[in-house]
């Protein structure tokens, strides 16, 4: 009873919180999101604001010991002389025109609407047990809904608001609408299939196709199989810049002159994600090899490409199956603690009731202990549910 109905109470509270969070991200009134659940043609103001800035690295001058510039005789004739050769600094700034998003587990990332099964739910980032308690979750490592490529979302079938309870009723051509900071996107259902819990190859990018994959448990009230819906995006996707520190590749020495310094400013949560500044500092023209300037675009291009964010890795090596009682250790302790609390409340009620001789007097004692017992029992079940398969 708790799994089927009690979990829905917590999920409804989380959905209200996610709606407020998403409305804040979009800078709109939450009531506009309510309209999206009724009218699929609602337009959300999701056009990103491009911020412009320039970063120039401060590079000290080069100090060349043992070199006299302009002196008679070969270089190095006066070891005690130190001449400072000023550097010429060139800065190239790459501005991003794409939406900039920061993703962290449990945050609101959008809203999904499926008219065929009367579903409107707010989406969270992540598919862990605690994430899916709030609503359907986006698989980390796949594209966001609306981006080019494959986006994947998991949702409960019969618990926590059972968002995908009627997913098996979907047919080819049925519409799925997803709204987020990237915009409002429409997908058309292609097919439904049932796979084994270990068959996560359905989450791998299909190359060149903009797809949305929804996964849930199958059949209802069981976690023995997975029901997988695949839909395709109508129109073109919107490429986003994820605000995560990119991995800057090691540049082979052959692409840079020996005296070149490259100081990239990577995107992170603490800096402006709308640009990638690449500063290339050269020595004075008297000491720069003739071929050095031609290698600068190669270096800048390499760093700019690296800063576009991490590429989604294939997920076929990861199982999306979740066993019974496989929760973390702290959940076990919490479950044990609340179970002990239930036992203590029941024991206290029994000890007080046995002192009453009349039948109705004993019933009144148990009635008085009923509310605190249910309160403790609710949290006992809340933790116990975290030990069960997360996609039931």
Q: What is the pLDDT of residue 167?
A: 97
Q: What is the pLDDT of residue 205?
A: 87
If DSSP codes are grouped into helix, strand and coil, which group holds residue 249?
coil
Tokens of 174: 């049925």
In sequence order, the 6+-apart residues with CB closer than 8 A to the CB of 275 are 51, 52, 53, 54, 55, 93, 94, 95, 96, 265
Q: How many CB atoms lie within 10 A of CB 216?
A: 25
Q: How many CB atoms lie within 10 A of CB 139?
A: 22
In sequence order, the 6+-apart residues with CB closer than 8 A to the CB of 288 are 257, 259, 282
Q: What is the pLDDT of residue 391?
A: 52
* Integer CA distances (angstroms), 352 to 348, 360, 370, in order: 6, 13, 13
Q: What is the pLDDT of residue 198?
A: 84
CA distance 380 to 374: 10
Please name which of 133, 118, 223 lies closest in space to residue 166, comparing C-alpha atoms: 118
Q: How far apart are the first and last CA of the chain?
A: 14
In sequence order, the 6+-apart residues with CB closer than 8 A to the CB of 126 are 105, 106, 137, 138, 140
Q: What is the value of pTM for the model shown?
A: 0.64
Mean pLDDT by 10 residues, the chain (392 residues): 87 94 89 77 55 46 51 52 51 52 87 95 91 93 92 93 95 94 92 91 88 94 91 89 49 41 38 38 42 41 42 43 65 92 95 91 93 93 78 60
């Amino acid at each position: 009873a708790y799994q089927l109905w009690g979990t829905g109470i917590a999920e409804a509270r989380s959905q209200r919180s996610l709606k407020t969070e998403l409305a804040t991200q979009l800078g709109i009134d939450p009531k506009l999101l309510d309209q999206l659940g009724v009218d699929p043609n609602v337009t959300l103001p999701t056009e990103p604001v491009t911020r412009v800035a320039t970063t120039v690295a401060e590079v000290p001058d080069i100090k060349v010991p043992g070199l006299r510039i302009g002196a008679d005789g070969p270089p190095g004739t006066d070891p005690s002389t130190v001449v400072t050769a000023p550097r010429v600094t060139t800065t190239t700034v790459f501005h991003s025109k794409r939406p900039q998003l920061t993703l962290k587990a449990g945050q609101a990332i959008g809203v999904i609407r499926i008219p065929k099964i009367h579903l409107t739910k707010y989406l969270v980032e992540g598919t862990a047990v605690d994430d899916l308690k709030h609503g359907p979750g986006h698989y980390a490592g796949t594209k966001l809904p609306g981006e080019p490529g494959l986006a994947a979302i998991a949702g409960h079938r019969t618990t926590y608001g059972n968002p995908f309870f009627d997913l098996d009723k979907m047919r080819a051509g049925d519409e799925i609408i997803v709204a987020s900071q990237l915009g409002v996107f429409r997908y058309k259902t292609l097919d439904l299939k049932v796979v084994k819990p270990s068959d996560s190859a359905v989450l791998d990018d299909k190359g060149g196709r903009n797809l949305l994959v929804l996964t849930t448990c199958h059949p209802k009230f069981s976690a023995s199989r997975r029901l997988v819906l695949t839909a395709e995006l109508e129109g073109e996707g919107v490429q986003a810049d994820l605000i995560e520190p990119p991995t800057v590749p090691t540049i082979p020495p052959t692409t840079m002159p020996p005296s070149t310094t490259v100081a990239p400013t990577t995107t992170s949560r603490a800096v402006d994600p709308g640009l990638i500044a690449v500063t290339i500092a050269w020595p004075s023209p008297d000491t720069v090899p003739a071929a050095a300037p031609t290698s600068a675009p190669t270096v800048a291009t390499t760093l700019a490409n690296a800063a576009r964010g991490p590429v989604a890795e294939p997920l076929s090596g990861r199982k999306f199956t979740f066993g019974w009682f496989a929760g973390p250790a702290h959940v076990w302790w919490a479950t044990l603690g609340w179970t002990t609390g239930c036992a203590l409340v029941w024991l206290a009620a029994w000890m007080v009731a046995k002192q009453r001789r009349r039948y109705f007097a004993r019933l009144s004692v148990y009635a008085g202990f009923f509310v605190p017992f249910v309160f403790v029992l609710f949290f006992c079940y809340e933790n116990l549910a975290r030990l069960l398969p997360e996609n039931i």
